[in-house]
Every structure is written in structure tokens, then in C-alpha cells.
Chains A and B, each alone.
Chain A
């Protein structure tokens, strides 16, 4: 297992204002697989990802990344975990404007004080197709190119899991397809584990498996999904949630 959630609860606020974002979510994310987490707004999909990635603390339950228990780690422990075992791709790209594409890609390694493996770096660069853009700063790159830089940054340290939060949310469909294809390739060819949160059925169809969340609970999942199948399931999500609830 690359990542595991065990009866995870997440509660915000207290008393009248209390919001339960996750209600006893248990899920496993297999190594070398591309999993999408779907669900309508407010279903708790982003919260689940943040908890899995150690960005947010759980109220109850346990999270594991590989063999490491994330729950209860100190800030230092979490930082170390992020350096070695986790990669991130954000909707907003989140590149440092002061650094070139190459510097952005190598930043996690630089922060950890590690040298990149030259072969792997070359492979990643070639796969994302940025070889001739390495010297550019983010402002000189298109949205799709920026997100590919962010993908390369997430992959370059060979993390246990890459978490992607709506990676195509800010891209046009062509650039989105490029990025998704690239993510799928990295799973197929290099055995990377990817967990992606999305609300776009088309994006979800690139995954090996889709987990559906509604009202903070996992209601169903699909293997080898198609865009239509995902859309179908989404439409029935209210009913399914009703059944489970």
C-alpha cells in the first residue's frame, strides 16, 4: 500500500457551527496505481486529500503513507515526510516566480539537500516535454507548461505518493489532456502512485480507479472508468449517499 486511511473523521468548528467533513473514511491506495477521488462540492474530497498528505490533521482515525504513520507526527516529522515521501501538484501551479523552470523542478531536492539523479531528471524532463524551456521563468510559460513544470517537480524526488488537487482546473482542455496523459504515463511506465482530486469526469477517466465521496463518506468506486461511467455514477451519487446514510 502506498497510502491508507483508517476510519478517518474530520470535524471543523464546535457546537452549532460544527461541520463534519469526513465521517469514518477508510480507503487504501495501491502502489503504482492512479486513483481519482470524486464527489460534488462539499463532499470532503479535498479534505480527504489534505489529511492523506499530512497537510491537515485528522480529528480521529489514522493515516499511513507507506509504512509511516502520518497521524500524530510533529511539524518536523511532517516536513521530513513531505520531503521524502510526498509530492504535490496544485490547481494554481504554485511555482516560485523568482526561479527558472529547472530551479523550480529541483527545488524539493535542493531544500532536502539532495542531488538529482541525472538520468531520472532527464527522463522526467523529456516526458513532460520541457527540455527547451528549462531556463524560462514561470511568467514566460503558458498555463499548461507551468503545470507540467509542477508535475515534474512532484515527480523528480520519486515520492511514495503524488497528490494532485484539481491539476487541470485552471487549464484549457488540450493542456489538461496533456497533463493527464503525462500523469497516466508516469504511473504506467515508472510505477508512480498518484492520488488526484477532481470534479471533472473526463479527468477522472484517466485514472485506474475512481473513489466517490458524498457527505464525507465513500459511497462507491469504479475500476477502469470511462468518462461516461463516471458521469453516470455522479448523477446517481445522491441516491447512493441516501442508501448508505
Chain B
């Protein structure tokens, strides 16, 4: 039995290649993800190890607001007063101690007048420490006067600046211009540490611009006296300074930094695993279909085995063995390809960020194990149903030309209904947003719904396919193609369902994003009474900022009725982390955002006063006249008293603080501005004047309402593009499925094709017949995808109603494009099978058994 299985497998290896290909792709992404993360994390590890190898012990301050991960944005710089350096020096065993300033957010304006962009790595602003063992001067000297800076080599290159140039830098303060006096690299000939850019100022300037405080440092670097162990020194310093400071050895620092990067890397990991999941899910359909068709074609062979005495169990075993063999081959190929992809991505990553030396491509055991587990498991799971079907072939089928009648669709339809309902239920629970498992519930719901719809597809398929086919029925080949596509509803259904998955996902995402855009548009139109907007690209890690004086000046412009600016920060309110806003003018803000006041009154806010909305009031249990303790990014906790509670509004902040509070924000500059014009004044009349005010704030621009919407939704297009790439893969695999089904059908119908050719069907007509079948299947799949995707999208939009997505928009033009894509896929997928059908030797075809 074993030998017979392998022989029959080898004889049909070509047919299995395509179904195996989906598994290969899936495994490739899984193992690629492991290889990439492993390689990069080891690379970063060695980078930080060498970077921190010169540090014995470092003293840092605890941040006022702990950063909870990537989404929270850059943490507020934690500072320690300058006298800590003296206290550290006094600790026995300390050879020397120097105060360091280092903070994210030194944005250099390049020779082209634009801010040098960052693709992830930080843009550090530091003080210059003469004789630092880390930095190595390449050119010029370190900043000696307050109007001088030095930059690292990678930044000098990216910005196109050289020693002697006047260079502008954006920091916590608006644009300041310095003379570039030095360019430096790092030990080991590096231009950058992991892609980070670095601007070095003199101590006072760095403190002022990067930390926003005088006589403060972000850390103290300590050299141990000869013979003193860093760990022992750390403990000594810790006990000398007390709990308010974090004291770490260089090794600990390296570990912390590496751990931070690993968190960032998990993002890559998730993307690749997402690719893998989609590829494998669609792949299951493909394998299921291939096995089903092959078993239908092998009915006689299997029946013969049964007649010769094989048990049902042996037949099932033989099919599953075949699946294992394919899974193993696919796993090996996928692993190989995955190592290649992982290595390539690691190289690309290094090239993009610069300054990271790859630690050599690693193939962790996890990647090998997961490749084999995933490859074999997925294939075997997909082969279970066909194997059961194979075991039901009666031995008598070997003797006669038994046309196995299509079993009724009742059972599969009922099952499909049940599974779809389960999927819908999961989705409903998930979308109602109960608890932490929300995302998983939604994913599972989508997945189960897909399976349910796939089970229902044979039933839906009959009328739809027949209807679709009528478009082509004017010609004989068209008619034959239509009849062929309706011939095996299960096969057509699975093939179409594979295509459905990709198109449904992309349609669903499209519906949600378009609806969100439309809702935002509606909110901006209905509830923001401003004509000009100041802001920058909201997808930047660090929000673009501008000088608060711009708003003051803009308010004085002729034609401007009022102008309001907003600061953003995270804070602990009564111990709970939350986002809040400080505004330049609460009264004007309430007016522009036409917010209703439930209780109290909004006036010019005093230094200890705040306005909250009803949601925040409920969350913190506050009412007018009551106060809460607010710990901002800087300074000491401060009590603010509620003067007004407003209605909750999508545009008006939950907690609004007076402008003075912004002094203790991490970023003391404005991130958004709204300008209300006098009646009858056109935005275009005032825009140039505001533009001039923004000359020193190159990260932001002043735009009208449509420009503002474009700015706010620019992230939407990016998300959509990424998802389209992800789903192109799913669609590619589905195309393989269509090709596979058609090739197998052509083989199966060899005799019929021979007959048709014998009675006068031309080659072109034969190809046309196959193409029609292909197009009908693909368009059916696309239609299903559009319907399911629109349904899923609408469900999500409805669930997000409370989040401000109030409008439901169907992206008709995109949906039409996807439908056309389905037709094109049909034509493309038909190429190979049609060619094969047209090239059949008539005589051989007729004699074909």
C-alpha cells in the first residue's frame, strides 16, 4: 500500500505542484519571519553590546509617565538635576562621572529645506562630551560655543550638510540655527548606531532644547575605579542615591535597549505571520480541491485497491500519506525560500536604516520546527475530507464505468448555514467589544464566516454561475464553457471560495476605511467651524509641531476672527493614564467645535482649572467643582478643578487644560491649529499670510478644509496599500487554484475535448470554452468576495458607530475594479489550461481512458 501510494504520487507530481505551492508560500513566510527576527535581534544585540561596552554604570531618572509601548509615542524625557552628578562622584569606587543629555526629537532641516525624515530609528539630540569613548570625531571639532553643533556622519550625509554650514534644528523649541563645526562617527567605523541620527550641542543648549530644563541631565555615565566591579558599583550608587533613580550596568543597558528593539521587530514578525496565515488559509481550499479532483479521477484505481483487499482505513491512510509527503516537500522548499526571504529582508532592513552590521543569518530551531509542523499539518487537515470520500468508493467501481452521481447538497448547505451563523455570532460578540479577546474574536469570526460561506457556495453557485454563464451563451464554446462550470458545483465552489477570501478581506477593509473617511469628513464639516487648519503628517511617529506664537500672530491677521492651538500629552489623572489637551483659548475652542456645555461654564481657564466631557466625568467620577490630581510629563502632580462638563464630541477633547499646563507637557509646542475667518473672508485670502508665519515650522502647513481631510486621511491610503499587497498574495494563490482546477478538469475531460475537436471544434474555440469556464468561476468568486466583504465591512462599521464612524460608504468604484480583476484573473488563469486543451492530440484524446 505504501509503495502504491508513493508511485501514484510520483506519477501525478505535476498536478500536486500547484497545490503544494500555496503551502510553500505559507511556510516561506512563517520561517522567513523567524529568520528575520532572529537575525535582526542578534544584530541589534551585538550593536548595543558594543555601544554600551564602554559604560560601567549609568544613572537615569524614572519617567513621570511610563511609556506603555510603541503606540504611546516617544516617552517624555526623564531628567535628573545636575547635582546628582556630584553626588555620584562622591560614591567610593567611582573614577569619573559625567552628565549626559540624550533625547528623541532633534530634527535637522536638510540642505533641501525639508526636515530629514526618519523611518523608525530615533533622531537624538545630545550634549557633546569631550573625550567620549563612544563617539569618534571624523572632521572638525565638538561644539564649543552655544551656537555650534556636531552631527553624526549618517545625518550629515542624509541632510547634505558639511562642516561650516549654517544648520537649522527643530527641538522642543522652534527652529534654531547653528554652525556645524564637527562630524563624528562611532567606534568600529560606524556612521550611525542602528540608524539613529544624532545632533550634539553644548551642555546648556542640549539641556534647554532637548530636556526643556536648565541644569538637568537625562543620565549620568559612570566609570568605575580600577578593580571595582560594575555590579558592585551599581549597588553602591543605588543605595547612595535612593529609589528615585535607576542605576544600571552597561550590560543591563544593552539588554534593555535590545529588548526595546525586539518589541519593534515583533511588528515585522506579525506582518510576515499575517502573510503566512492568509496564504495557508487559502492554501487549504486549494489542497482540498486538488485532492478531491484527483480522487475523483482515481476512483477506479482506488476501487481496484479496495477490490484487491485494502481496507477503508488503508485507503484513508494512503491519501493522508500522500498529503504528508506533499506537506514535507512543501515544508522543505518553504523553509529554504523562507531563509532566503528572511535574509533578504534583513539585508534590506540594514540597507534602509544603515549602520547595522548583520550578525550572520541565523536559522533558529523554531523556524525549522514551525515550517514542518505548519506545512504538514495544513496539508493533512486539507486532505482529511477527500480521504474520507476516497474511503467510501465501493470496490465495484473498479469493474464498471460508474458515474458517481453528485451527492445532494443538503448536508453541506445545512452545515454551511450552521457554520456561517457561528461565524456571525463570533463576529457579533467580538464587535460588541467585550474584553481583551475582541481582536481574536473578530478574526475567528471572519475566519469561521469564510468557511461557512465556502460551504454554502455550492448552493449559491448553481443559479449564479448559470446566470453569469448566460453572458457567454451566444457562442457554442461559450455555452459549453458555461455548462462545464456548472457541472461540478463543489469544485467550482471551492475554487471560487479561495478567490472570495482575498477579495472579501480587501473589500471589507475598504468599506471600513472609506466609511471612516466619510465620517471624518462629516464631523469636520458639521462640528468644526474653522476654515483654515494647521498641522502635519499625522502618521509620523512624533507629531509635527509648531511655534505657539504662530497662533497668537494668526489671531491678529486681518480677516481672522479667532485662532486656536492645541497641545497634546499623556498624563496620569488620578493614577490612570490618559491623553489630554491644552488649548490656547478654551472659549474660542468651544466656539469652533460648537460643543454643548452640560453643566458649569467655559470661560478663560485659570491655571488650576479644566474642562472635561461627560465620558471623562463618568470615567473619573468627577463633577463641576471637584478636582483631580494630574501628573503631566514634567513637574510635580498638580490639582485641577473642573469648571465645566461638556457633551462628548468626536472633536472636542475629553480633558482640556489651560495653556499654562503645556509648560509641563513633554512637547511644549502646538500640534494642531484651527483658524476661524470673519464672515465673507475667503480661506485663500488669509492662507498666504499664515503660511508666512509658518516659515520656521517646516513640519506643518496651513491647509483649507479639503486639504485638512486629505492630511488626516493620508494614513488611510497607506494602510490600504499595505493591505492590498498582503491580499494580492491571497489572490495570487487563488489564481493558482483556478489554474489547478481547470488543468485537472481538462485532463479529466480529455475524451470529451477529443470528441469536440473530432466533430469540428477549432483550437481557438476549444481555448475559448476553457476560458469561459475560468472567467465564470473567477467572476463568481469575485462577486462572492464583494458580497461577503461588503457585509463584513458594514458589520464592522455599525459596531464602530459609537467610535464616531457614523457613515456607511461602499466603495463602488473599487468594488467594480475588483470585479474586473476577477474577470482578468479568469482570463489569465485560463491561459495554460486553454493552451493545453487546444493542443490536445485528437486521436490520443479520443482513445484516452
A: residues with CB less than 8 A from B are: 50, 55-56, 75-76, 79-80, 82-84, 87-88, 90, 92, 94, 96-99, 107-108, 110-113, 139, 153
Instruction: Scan B729-767; emit 1 where CB is below 8 A from any A CB, else 0.
Output: 000000000000000000000011011111111110100
Told that A79-B763, A83-B759, A97-B487 touch, could you supply 8 new A-B pairs with CB distance under 8 A?
Answer: A50-B843, A55-B846, A79-B762, A94-B751, A96-B755, A99-B483, A111-B476, A113-B476
Name the residue among A50, A90, A94 with the largest chain B CB count within 10 angstroms: A94
Instruction: Compute how far the CA of A55 lies from the CA of B758 in the bound complex, rounded to whole angstroms.
Output: 8
B403 at interface, CB cutoff 8 A? yes
Please determine whether B480 and A96 come into contact, CB atoms closer than 8 angstroms: yes
CA distance A82 to B762 in the complex (A): 10
- Nearest CB of chain A from residue B478's CB, rounded to whole Å: 11
**A94, B755: Cβ atoms closer than 8 Å:** yes
Do B755 and A90 touch (CB < 8 A)?
yes
Q: What are the residues of chain B within 8 A of A87 when measuring CB–CB? A: 759
Q: Is the CB of B752 within 8 A of A96?
A: yes
Nearest CB of A to B438, in Å: 48
Which of A55, A97, A99, A111 lies in contact with B761, CB distance below 8 A?
A111
A111 lies within 8 A of B759 (CB): yes
Closest-CB distance, B369 to chain A (whole angstroms): 48
Which B residues are in CB contact (< 8 Å) with A108?
Answer: 759-760
Q: Which residues of B line the A interface, CB within 8 A?
A: 403, 476, 480, 483-484, 486-487, 751-752, 754-763, 765, 842-843, 846
Report whether B759 and A82 are in contact in the complex, using a CB–CB cutoff of 8 Å: yes
Q: Give the residue of A50, A80, A99, A107 whose beta carbon is less than 8 angstroms from that of B759.
A: A107
Task: Check B763 against A88 for contact (C-beta < 8 Å).
Answer: no
Shortest beta-carbon contacts, A-B, top 3: A83-B760, A98-B483, A94-B755
Say yes or no: B758 contacts A82, CB within 8 Å. Answer: yes
Q: Check B846 against A90 for contact (C-beta < 8 Å).
A: yes
- Closest A residue to B476 by CB, please name it: A110
Closest to B754 in A: A94
Q: A111 touching B765 by the CB < 8 A rule?
A: yes
**A113, B475: Cα distance in complex, Å:** 9
CB-CB under 8 A from B757, the residues of chain A are: 79, 82
Q: Using Cβ atoms and an 8 Å threshold, which residues of chain A touch B846?
A: 55, 90, 94
Alpha-carbon gap, A147 to B281, bound state (A): 46
27 A–B contacts, CB within 8 A, in A order: A55-B842, A55-B843, A56-B843, A75-B763, A79-B760, A79-B761, A79-B762, A79-B763, A80-B760, A83-B760, A88-B755, A88-B759, A92-B751, A94-B751, A94-B752, A94-B846, A97-B403, A98-B480, A98-B483, A98-B484, A98-B486, A107-B759, A110-B476, A111-B476, A111-B756, A112-B760, A153-B759
- Taking CB atoms, residues of chain A closer than 8 Å to B758 are 55, 82, 88
Alpha-carbon separation in the docked complex, A111 to B761 (Å): 6
Cα-based distance from A139 to B761 in the complex (angstroms): 23
Min Cβ gap B461→A in Å is: 15
What chain B residues lie within 8 Å of A99 (beta carbons)? 483
Write out the residue numbers on chain B whose beta carbons fall within 8 Å of the beta carbon of A153: 759
Contact check, A76 vs B762: say whether CB atoms are below 8 A apart: yes
Neighbouring B residues of A96 by C-beta, 8 Å: 480, 483, 752, 755-756
Q: Give the shortest distance, in Å, between B143 (CB) and chain A (any CB).
A: 83
Give Cα A31 to B832, complex, Å: 43
Chain A residues with CB below 8 A from B751, complex form: 92, 94
**Which residue, B487, B751, B760, has most C-beta atoms of chain A within 10 A?**
B760
In the assembled complex, the Cα of A150 lies from the Cα of B758 at a distance in Å of: 13
A68 to chain B, nearest CB (A): 14
Q: Complex: how many Å from CA A156 to CA B754?
A: 19
* B549 CB, nearest partner CB in chain A, Å: 79
Pairwise interchain contact A82-B760, C-beta atoms closer than 8 A? yes
Which residues of B lie under 8 Å from residue A84 when comparing CB positions? Answer: 760
CB proximity of A149 to chain B, nearest CB, Å: 12
Nearest residue, chain A, Cβ from B486: A98
Chain B: CB-nearest residue to A75: B763
Q: How far is the CB of A110 from chain B (nearest CB, A)?
A: 5
- Nearest residue (CB) in A for B405 is A139
CA distance A99 to B473 in the complex (A): 13
B497 to chain A, nearest CB (A): 22
Listed residue (B403, B476, B484, B487) with the most chain A CB atoms within 10 angstroms of its CB: B476
Instruction: Using A55-B843, A55-B846 as known contacts, say yes or no to A98 and B487 having CB atoms under 8 A apart.
Output: yes
Give the complex CA separation of A88 and B756 in angstroms: 11
Contacts of A83 in B (CB 8 A): 759-760
CB distance from B188 to the nearest CB of A (A): 69
Closest Cβ of chain B to A57, distance in Å, is 10
Q: Give the shortest distance, in Å, between B400 (CB) and chain A (any CB).
A: 12
| CB of B253 to closest CB in A, whole Å | 74
Q: How far is the CB of B266 from chain A (nearest CB, A)?
A: 53
Q: Which residues on A sit within 8 Å (CB–CB) of B486?
A: 98
A80 to B764, CA, bound (A): 13
User: In the complex, which residues of chain A have a beta carbon less than 8 angstroms from the beta carbon of B476?
Assistant: 107, 110-111, 113
Least CB distance, B211 to chain A, in whole angstroms? 79
Determine the distance from Cα of A207 to Cα of B68 in the docked complex, in whole angstroms: 95
Which residues of A sit under 8 angstroms from B843, Cβ to Cβ?
A: 50, 55-56
Return chain A residues, CB-CB under 8 Å to B483: 96, 98-99
Task: Please give me the residue from chain A that is nearest to B760 by CB atom.
Answer: A83
C-alpha spacing A110/B756, complex, angstroms: 11
A135 to B780 CA separation, bound complex (whole angstroms): 28
**Cβ 8 A contact of A139, one of B403, B484, B842:** B403
In the bound complex, CA of A75 to CA of B751 (Å):
18
A66 smallest CB distance to B (angstroms): 16
A80 to B762, CA, bound (A): 8
Chain B residues near A110 (CB, 8 Å)? 476
Chain B nearest Cβ from A176, distance in angstroms: 18
Beta-carbon nearest neighbor of A87 in chain B: B759
Q: Give the distance in Å from the alpha carbon of A99 to the alpha carbon of B760 in the complex.
A: 17
Q: Distance (Å) between the CB of A124 and the closest chain B CB?
A: 15
CA distance A153 to B846 in the complex (A): 16
* B765 nearest CB across to chain A (Å): 7
Q: Which of B403, B480, B759 has the most CB of A within 10 A?
A: B759
Most chain B C-beta atoms within 10 Å of own C-beta, residue among A79, A84, A87, A92: A79
Chain A minimum-CB-distance residue to B755: A94
A108 to chain B, nearest CB (A): 4
Closest to A153 in B: B759
Q: Return chain B residues, CB-CB under 8 Å to A90.
A: 755, 846
Residues of B within 8 A of A88 (CB): 755, 758-759
A residues within 8 A CB of B759?
82-83, 87-88, 107-108, 111, 153
A108 to B761, alpha carbons, bound, how many Å? 8
- B483 nearest in chain A by CB position: A98
Q: Which residues of A have CB within 8 Å of B487?
A: 97-98
CA distance A79 to B756 in the complex (A): 10
Q: Report whether B403 and A111 are in contact in the complex, using a CB–CB cutoff of 8 Å.
A: no
A107: B residues at CB distance < 8 A: 476, 756, 759
**Complex formed: what's the CA distance from A55 to B759 in Å?**
11
Q: Which residues of the other chain, A, contact B480 by a CB distance below 8 angstroms?
A: 96, 98
Enumerate chain B residues within 8 angstroms of A94, measured Cβ to Cβ.
751-752, 754-755, 846
Least CB distance from B380 to A in Å reads 33
**CA separation between A75 and B839, bound complex, in Å?**
10
> CA A99 – CA B487 in complex, angstroms?
11
Across-interface contacts of A98 in B (CB, < 8 A): 480, 483-484, 486-487
In the complex the two chains form, what is the Cα distance from A198 to B484 in whole Å?
33
Rounded to whole angstroms, the CA-CA distance of A112 and B476 in the bound complex is 9
Q: Which residues of A contact B842 (CB under 8 A)?
A: 55
CB-defined contacts of B756 to chain A, threshold 8 Å: 96, 107, 111
Residues in chain A near residue B755, CB distance under 8 A: 88, 90, 94, 96
Bound: A65/B129 CA distance, A: 101
For residue A111, which residues in chain B have a CB less than 8 angstroms away from its CB?
Answer: 476, 756, 759-761, 765
With a 10 A CB-CB cut-off, give which of A75, A76, A139 has the most chain B CB atoms: A75
Measured CA separation A97–B846 after assembly (Å): 15
- Chain B: CB-nearest residue to A88: B758
Q: Which residues of A contact B403 (CB under 8 A)?
A: 97, 139
> In the complex, what residue of chain B is closest to A46 when comparing beta carbons?
B847
B contact residues around A139 at 8 Å (CB): 403
